[in-house]
Structure 1
Amino acid sequence: MGCVTSTQTREDPSLYPVLIEHEARYSDLDPSRRIGRDALVRWFEDARVAVERDAFGADLVARLQSRVRLLLAAVRVDVIAPLRVAGNYRIGIGVSHIGASSFAYRYAVFAGHECVATGESVSVHCDVPAPPAADGDHPRDGTEPSPLPDVVRGALATIQVSAPAPTRPDRGDARLVRENYPFRVDVRTRFGDLDTNRHVNNVALAGWYLDGLAELHQDVLGYPTGGPLDGLSPSSLAVQYRDQVHYPGIYQLRVGVLELDEDTVRYACGLFDGPRCIGLAEAEGRHHAPGQDGDPVRLAEALAPFRMRNL
């Protein structure tokens, strides 16, 4: 654990075809007084929307909104250095891969010329769901991947960077079984979580996984006032969106420990609609932090009983 990921290899602003100024907001801060991981997922979304508006043009956007959808399939965030609310940031973005029906972005966040965070995402081009049949029945998901239009492919090619495409490792079927995760949190969707596609937004879902980790930390710490200790937030978060999450609804978020070493812990998370897995995530961070009295609090022993089962 703790190795440099593929998203941490492009550390110069000049390597990105698009740089977007982004001012940090107070609401982006988490309890540690640093920019939260879910806020960075939102920053990446803002960058995607800006690029697609400018690169595709208003006419194409209108056609996309009426006939097709771009759905986020996966996103990853890696924090390299603390991000604080003071000062402005620049988000570098470029297209790292163009496939038959999907494409991938590479991101880097710069404070001056210092790269403080990186990321990547995969978007899938889908048909708009067909209208409900006369009897009211309609498919559960309602969307199918469809080929990228040539005009979209051409626009994406103008901001392409030389970088490996994101990979989705085959982790087997054990993570699709909810009972293999020892820790459970029930989540109720909120109307404010919905986006323009009328399902729960990817940023809100990333926040759900972070909430699940915080609940686990609070459980092993004995539910301290004010939430878990500073320093326990993960330095990396990777989310895979397997299916749409709807409102209203109550879902099970499951968490388990994959690996523990001397300093860090790697977690697996699964989001379930009944027994069906509709989302996966991985996160990595430290398992020790300064306590309120200044002495280190080490959680490795307390986290050990929460190891994933049947891997």
Structure 2
Amino acid sequence: MTATISTQTTAVPEAGTFPILVEHEARYADLDASRRIGRDALVRWFEDARVAVEHDAFGADLQTRMQSQVGILLAAIKVDVLAPLTVAGRYRIGVGVSHIGTTSFSYSYAVFSGDDVVATAESTSVLTEDGRPAPLPDDVRTALDGIRIDAPAPTRPERGDARRVRENYPFRWDVRTRFSDIDTNRHVNNVALASWYLDGLAELHTDVLGYPAGGPLDGLSPSSLSVQYLAQVQYPGIYQLRVAVEEIGEDTVRYVCGLFDGRELIGLAEAEGFHHAPGEDGDPVRLAEALAPFRFKA
């Protein structure tokens, strides 16, 4: 039996909800094969907005002091695409702090095209010292509290024992890190890692479709991507990305992806999108049956 999987879990916000609105111009390099703004580009947009907000909210002196004593690492991000984004559009990114914990804090985001919300996101960052979570200083808490928003704290994908077993994910794609993937922290950047999961899904779709020229159908790209960064990914290195189908609904499919260093789970993602899309002749190509053998094994 199949059921429709819901892709929208939170209410759509309005621009006035956010204490900060950042103007953001789309670039040609942000486009993917569908001629729309790519999911990985949106992850970059939210990173740019987050860095700009922290520079202004914390102040240059506080930010420099924090960076010299501790690190700010992204622990998780979830992106939902609600409508197509084009390079010709003019966008604003709403940003607000949704949760302040002991060692971490979370943001809520929305991308506005005019008054329309075309994408939303949420993320969690952790303060670390000597590689371990560190308590948020009082002045950081004060700065974060000044841009609070009334929004639920982010939820993270489940990390049960079954998801830590590499062989439970039927589809395998090996990834070699590139020098261009690393950031100022000398590990693979969160945006590059998000793109790995998208590439892994594209590899699965391409395999199912028989490796067509130009890659898989545009309509198969996920509309929702949620990533947990469980450990730093280093350069140089070769990692295994594993993909499984968690649930197949009437129109949509939910995936779970695990990134492994040997047998250790160092990253986890969930994604959701359609399992059918228009083919070159205009007739729909349906992949539900072809995806069934890739179900999660546990």
Q: What interval of TM-score do these two structures reach, taking the shorter chain for normalisation?
A: over 0.9
Classify 1:293/1:259 alpha carbon distance in 2 versus 1 (closer, same or farther; 3 Å). same
1:17 aligns with 2:5: no
User: Which residue number in structure 2 is paired with residue 71 of structure 1?
Assistant: 73
1:177 aligns with 2:177: no
Runs (4+) of structure 1 exceeding 6 A deviation are: none
Classify 1:192/1:169 alpha carbon distance in 2 versus 1 (closer, same or farther; 3 Å). closer
1:2 aligns with 2:6: yes
How far has the Cα of 1:167 moved from its partner? 2.1
2: distance between equivalents of 1:261 and 1:92?
32
Match of 1:161, SS? coil
Match of 1:285, SS? strand
Match of 2:67, SS? helix
Q: What amino acid sits opposite 1:66 in the alignment?
A: S
Match of 1:252, SS? strand
2: distance between equivalents of 1:222 and 1:114?
38
Contact 2:172–2:242 under 8 Å retained in 1: yes
Match of 2:246, SS? strand
Q: How many residues align?
A: 294
How far has the Cα of 1:33 moved from its partner? 0.6
Q: What amino acid sits opposite 2:17 in the alignment?
A: L
Contact 1:181–1:308 under 8 Å retained in 2: yes
User: Which residue number in structure 1 is paired with residue 62 of structure 2?
Assistant: 60
1: distance between equivalents of 2:202 and 2:89?
28
What is the RMSD computed on CA atoms of the aligned residues?
Answer: 0.8
2: distance between equivalents of 1:164 and 1:300?
33
1:305 aligns with 2:275: no
User: Which residue number in structure 1 is paired with residue 88 of structure 2?
Assistant: 86
How far has the Cα of 1:212 moved from its partner? 0.1
Contact 2:157–2:269 under 8 Å retained in 1: no
* Structure 1 residue runs without a partner (length 5+): 130-142
**TM-score of the two chains, using structure 2 as the length reference:** 0.97
Match of 1:42, SS? helix
How far has the Cα of 1:11 moved from its partner? 2.2
> What does residue range 92-241 of structure 1 map to in structure 2 within 5 Å?
92-127=94-129, 129=130, 143-241=131-229
**TM-score of the two chains, using structure 1 as the length reference:** 0.93
Contact 1:11–1:114 under 8 Å retained in 2: no
Match of 1:227, SS? coil
Identity %: 73
* Structure 2 residue runs without a partner (length 5+): none
Match of 2:256, SS? strand
Contact 2:7–2:272 under 8 Å retained in 1: no
Q: What amino acid sits opposite 1:16 in the alignment?
A: F
Q: What amino acid sits opposite 2:9 in the alignment?
A: T
Q: What amino acid sits opposite 2:16 in the alignment?
A: S
